[in-house]
Structure 1
Amino acid sequence: MASESSRSPDPFRRHYEVERELAARLRNSTRAERPALFATLYGELFARIPDHPRLSRRDAPEYVRGKVLSQLRLLRPFLKADTVFLEFAPGDCRLASAVAPQVRRAIGADISDQRTPGEASPPNLELIVYDGYELPVPDATADVIFSYQFLEHLHPDDVDGHFTMVRRLLKPGGVYVFDTPHRYSGPHDVSRYFGDELVCFHFQEWTSNGMRRLLARHGFTRIRAFRFGKPLSSRVLNMANDLLELLAGLLPFRIRRALTSRLFASVAMVAQR
């Protein structure tokens, strides 16, 4: 299986240069231009970088199985037989297919259909292909909304709109469960091998404190971070986390990234409407 560390230097740099070029197109686009770019940019990336790690991992059974299991660990406390589950950017829909037998209805929302041709889907799983903005799902549909390694790919101008849409789609008391890379151990895209700025397809990465403030601004309540594999809400833990983030933020970039690679790998949270 190809990986970032096993690729030779020339293709590695080419991946960086191509992704930076394509990301600049998206970064400099208007909202009206973005739906067309969403539909083509990743296809162009994979066509120009045929050894892209995402392509090799997609067909690696052990990687796929491990990824689904790690996501299910986040979701299990919130899934019930009568749950309506919605996932943003489900990709190949492997997770949604694993969730579907445990819930009443599963919905995937993505900008393209990336499922393996001919692969059967559970009867209660629906994939909705949309333009990235107007999702034709009624208000207060979902009990649980999920995204994994997705928020960092949003255009900066689209972040607020995403959280507004999530809140619209959730039933009162419903929850948004997500995992996104932590800023201090990043960049987490190919940018990390060539500098400390996000210039490829990760447009932003957050601290836990920053994400809590963003969620609160959009009216979410009971915001809990996953710690030790469980969603915990504690003012003391939040204060300790914020102090560590404050101290880490004072460190030079390379030292900060080395020290926080395990402590702050990601921002995994659940927030309630």
Structure 2
Amino acid sequence: MELKHPLPPGRSYDQLLNHYNIEKALAEKLKNSDRETRRHIFASMYDELFSKVPDHPRLTQRSSDRVTAITNKVKASIIDRFIDKLSTYVEFAPGDCRFAIETAKKVNEVFGIDISDQRNPADIFPQNFKLIIYDGYSIPELKENTIDIVFSYQLIEHLHPEDTKLHFELVNKILKPGGRYVFQTPHALSGPYDISMFFSDEPEGFHLKEWKYSEIKSLVKETGYSSFQTRWSAGGFDFQLPYLYFFSCESLLRSFPKPRIKKVAKRLIPMLYGVAVK
């Protein structure tokens, strides 16, 4: 298969193709499964992926303090404006949980919610942190109306389209009135952003759906949030912009020739970044 992008540092063509084929096959199982079956797939899919793709970036990043620091700096630039020492904070899909360790210094209590434990056994975790492994649908360990801030970074694109509404409902349930769900996810018009980017023009791996602002706004309204704030972030800049800006960009880009859409979208809408307020 022809590469659509240069090889990433430290990975060969064969490694990349192996990653693509394995992730694509697992994604197809997810896409074609019912909700009950997905519970079981979710519980094991990352373990299976990591066992068959030992060069996966999530695994190699664990041994790279530099890469971890860069990623955590990006996350902090997003979430720090929303938290304080009194906050009860939830991070969905915290991965190795190293960002949660840093955030625990800035808030009252931290819960990490994930479908598998990806922590490094050598890491030491603070007393105000707890990792909860869940089935993707319910979190009985957390009571309703108890959380101030929920955060996810590049998570929503991994959810089955049928399950995304349930995810927003679940977050709404655990948030306090006035609590906020802060999330950032790849924008559909500039993707794909998963392993597919090297071989395809559409997301075929674990990015089961990449979203547009217009779609997310409808979903936020449908799942009972009181308001939806839209933000723009890139190159160290982060500020709120009216939804009309993003809606206009998405409408304008529909008239562009397909080869140009991705290039222009990356400049106008680098990522989908929103805050849903309960």
Question: Which TM bucket (shorter chain)?
Answer: over 0.9
5 Å-filtered alignment, 1:13-52, equals 13-52=17-56
Going from structure 1 to structure 2, the CA distance change for 1:202 and 1:51 (only over 3 Å counts) comes to same
2: CA distance, partners of 1:227 / 1:197 = 24
Q: Is there any run of 5+ residues in structure 1 with no aligned partner, and where? A: none
Question: How many Å apart are 1:233 and its aligned residue?
Answer: 5.1
2: CA distance, partners of 1:227 / 1:31 = 34
Is residue 231–residue 269 contact of structure 1 (8 Å, CA) maintained in 2? Answer: no
1:74 and 2:78 matched? yes
2: CA distance, partners of 1:160 / 1:114 = 25
Q: Is there any run of 5+ residues in structure 2 with no aligned partner, and where? A: 1-5
Q: Give the corresponding residue for 1:5.
A: 8
SS at match of 1:197: coil
- 1:75-109 Cα distance to aligned partner (Å, 9 max, x none): 11211221100111111111111111211111111
Q: Give the corresponding residue for 2:149.
A: 144
Is residue 224–residue 231 contact of structure 1 (8 Å, CA) maintained in 2? Answer: no
Is residue 145–residue 175 contact of structure 2 (8 Å, CA) maintained in 1? Answer: yes
5 Å-filtered alignment, 1:167-178, equals 167-178=172-183
5 Å-filtered alignment, 1:236-255, equals 238-255=243-260
Q: Please point out which of 230, 249, 271 is paired with 1:266.
A: 271
1: CA distance, partners of 2:7 / 2:72 = 21
Q: Please point out which of 192, 207, 210 is paired with 1:202.
A: 207
Structure 2 residue identity aligned to 1:123: Q
SS at match of 2:105: helix
Is residue 152–residue 202 contact of structure 1 (8 Å, CA) maintained in 2? Answer: yes
What is the TM-score when the length of structure 1 is the normalising length? 0.92
After TM superposition, the structure 1 stretch with the greater mean CA deviation from structure 2, 148-157 or 256-265, is: 256-265
2: CA distance, partners of 1:245 / 1:45 = 34
SS at match of 1:26: helix
1:100 and 2:104 matched? yes
Question: How many Å apart are 1:201 and its aligned residue?
Answer: 0.7
Is residue 232–residue 241 contact of structure 2 (8 Å, CA) maintained in 1? Answer: no
Going from structure 1 to structure 2, the CA distance change for 1:200 and 1:211 (only over 3 Å counts) comes to same
Is residue 7–residue 13 contact of structure 2 (8 Å, CA) maintained in 1? Answer: no
Going from structure 1 to structure 2, the CA distance change for 1:4 and 1:130 (only over 3 Å counts) comes to farther
Is residue 222–residue 233 contact of structure 1 (8 Å, CA) maintained in 2? Answer: no
- Identity level (%): 38
Is residue 147–residue 175 contact of structure 2 (8 Å, CA) maintained in 1? Answer: yes
Question: How many Å apart are 1:203 and its aligned residue?
Answer: 0.7
Is residue 90–residue 110 contact of structure 2 (8 Å, CA) maintained in 1? Answer: yes
SS at match of 2:55: coil
1:56 and 2:64 matched? no
Structure 2 residue identity aligned to 1:99: T
Q: Please point out which of 160, 165, 177 is paired with 2:165.
A: 160
- 1:106-133 Cα distance to aligned partner (Å, 9 max, x none): 1111112211103211111111112121
2: CA distance, partners of 1:27 / 1:105 = 35
Structure 2 residue identity aligned to 1:220: Y
Structure 2 residue identity aligned to 1:65: A
Is residue 149–residue 182 contact of structure 2 (8 Å, CA) maintained in 1? Answer: yes
